[in-house]
Chain A
């Protein structure tokens, strides 16, 4: 598409944005893939509509305030990237545009405090834990709180699992086949510390030595995707240092963190660490991809057959193109019957902090996802991302049919360790 953007005026990200807009031919193939278009049915809430709006803002024909409500509604799920025949790098466009516009926009004092609160809490496990405890105590006050504060309270789990620090090094069992570094993720360390322990056990069993660099921090994706570029850079710089060791592979077990690390080259564009960021990004692999490439050691059968629905996390399927590997892992567990979820490519509405900032759309999508999952008759649902995990669990519960939600690696771990994969008496008869 034609544009009159002057990349020079916009900075290092200007060229990225101009290129993306140029690649869009406005064909509309993205419309059915866009969750907000599915829910709202209006052109400005579609990917090509947003591309038009961003173009107009960057060209100076439209004020930022006019465009902002629609840009804000984008989940960043990248479903459109999968659907796009002409290869528009929409993720790079929206991320860059948010970084470009955030310092220029007006926000109410309440919004500022709310956003600052999220950014200063979620990425730091100790603070998040403390906030979650406070939040649980505040639950009885929910009806008195402004709506924006109710959503986060609803997503908090009933009880936080106990947590202990991950070992700096977990040796391989038997002959060592590989050595990797693990990004532990921030929110998941508080909400579901079991994911990381399961990851360590499965990797060790498969002959992999795992280093957990102790000075690692949040990957910065939460900040980057909400336009807080400086904050994201600050965090990412610490990780460049933490993961500078001699690792062939940097593993992630949260889809959002994996794609966050893979976005470092975009984040560092025009910065001195550009090359270092590129090298790091090339080493990043999701746990499922790594295990499939390595070749799993034989998995013992489950004690009883289990019908499992696999939910594609957007940041695995759309952002990283990882679809087959998690399914392959699940199929390699004897006793698992894998079923596909209708509308599987549609986002569940979690999308980082989206379910906190746009609770209505997030809830509509969450409910739709939960219904689609239940329609499969699955006894458990498996996914590879903490955000989806929390969202799906909350919405299944809301519908009154809380079938167990597991991380892919948890199901694998339970098969290896001979535990029951889900509690007895599955919800679905």
Chain B
């Protein structure tokens, strides 16, 4: 054992993982195409321990990544090869919930859904609802500025985080934001949220809670083409309504979700539109009548309205399980995440269909239609030679399409490992250089989540276990 590791062991007498059987489990997040074996995993239990780990990394020039539940779809919490993983799962406490101030202060390992459960007795909730909300942590949500079905109306994580106590890459502590909506000075918190772990590690997060809507009205509309569903979205918005969420699933996604949770979706539909109204009862009732007319005129051949909270939850369960459920249709798939302007939805979907045919790969579509956030799922079989490469190429084409239509290469999953190469499609060299300079001003050694977000900053880690030479014992990593 090296002196550096002995030092780490002294810092973490009961939260250090070093054995191969322990490290293997941390090699990937939810993007298994990439794998990297860390040097070690530490499980700090306090702000001070996080700071100690970061200082140790600084001292020994070891790159690190903070990790919550490891649900990143862009490889954002993939370990840096030979680096340290700072697992925040033991920092999973609710520190304070103040119903009068409508805030919750949580540790970074606290689970998203648990915030709403803890706030429920006060008729409050936490609005951002990524599909991973029963699993993903607030720390990860903050790092990737997570969205969710309801960000059409409420915005992303950044709109719901008021303050954070963070450990900066030099091991110093900073307090960003405050407990109120009005801050003074530059919006440092705004810079931090969504920085994908490159600017530091949050150890305490102050979240804004909202009053739970009094009433919901959830409509499921079935269409015989994807375009009609896309046009219906534009029609709903044009009619002046602002629903809480508008989601579309295509036939492959419907098939997968039905197999997974039996949500009761019309199986033969080519596209399914979920629209949810929420607010005070009289308002929702009035809007529901309005929505009914719009949907009727949009050419839906079947319309259902959730009659109970249980039915509503079932509709959402199907939608939120859809990504993972696609695992039932195909051994491998890439979850893409791009944005197009809402008015270009139909065009984007038609183009994706053409690309799918050209590449000979099935593409399932599940997306936040209301805000133009597409999630094409590219199905492939990694055992067929060349299919992964084809799938990656198709994924790239879709991203370029999003940018060409005036959108973005990521809506909510982040750049992480997966989309580094597409940053130059979206940003000019000058943009990227400006970002690099901000990063180096805060982390001159580029230790925090090294290798992510910026194009070509590190060699791609091995995606399928050790190198053949390593397996043969010719080379080693330590």
A residues sitting closer than 8 Å to B (CB atoms) are: 1-2, 4, 22-29, 31-32, 41-44, 46, 49-50, 52-53, 56, 59, 61-63, 66-67, 69-70, 84-88
Contact = CB atoms under 8 A, between A and B. Distances in A.
Contacts of B33: 2
Contacts of A46: 25
B22 to A, nearest CB: 5
Which of A2, A4, A41, A85 has the most chain B CB within a 10 Å cutoff? A85
B90 interface: yes
B288 interface: no
B464 A85 contact: no
B29 A26 contact: yes
29 contacts: A2-B332, A2-B382, A2-B383, A2-B464, A22-B331, A26-B28, A27-B135, A27-B324, A28-B132, A29-B135, A29-B324, A31-B135, A32-B134, A43-B87, A49-B25, A53-B24, A62-B20, A63-B20, A66-B20, A66-B21, A67-B24, A84-B324, A85-B260, A85-B323, A85-B325, A85-B327, A86-B260, A86-B326, A87-B327
B26 interface: yes
Nearest to B318: A85
Which of B21, B22, B30 has the most chain A CB within a 10 Å cutoff? B21
Nearest to B322: A85
Nearest to A60: B471
A24 B32 CA distance: 10
B28 A42 contact: no
Contacts of A53: 21, 24-25
A84 B43 CA distance: 26
A26 B27 CA distance: 11
B235 interface: no
B316 to A, nearest CB: 13
A421 to B, nearest CB: 30
A66 B19 contact: yes
Nearest to A30: B135
A1 B332 CA distance: 6
A44 B324 contact: no
A32 B25 CA distance: 16
B17 A24 contact: no
B331 A85 contact: no
Contacts of B471: 61
Contact of A42 (B17, B24, B466): B17
Nearest to A84: B324
B453 interface: no
A67 B325 CA distance: 28
B158 interface: no
A348 B61 CA distance: 45
Given A25-B32, A29-B134, A85-B322, 9 more contacts: A2-B331, A4-B464, A22-B331, A27-B327, A53-B24, A56-B465, A62-B21, A86-B324, A87-B260
B135 A59 contact: no
Nearest to A37: B89
A353 to B, nearest CB: 23
Contacts of A61: 465-466, 471
B403 interface: no
A67 B27 CA distance: 15
A52 B25 contact: yes
Given A2-B382, A53-B21, A56-B24, A26 B134 contact: no
B30 to A, nearest CB: 5
Contact of B24 (A2, A22, A23, A44): A44
Contacts of B141: none
Contact of A23 (B17, B323, B327): B327
Contact of A41 (B20, B92, B134): B92
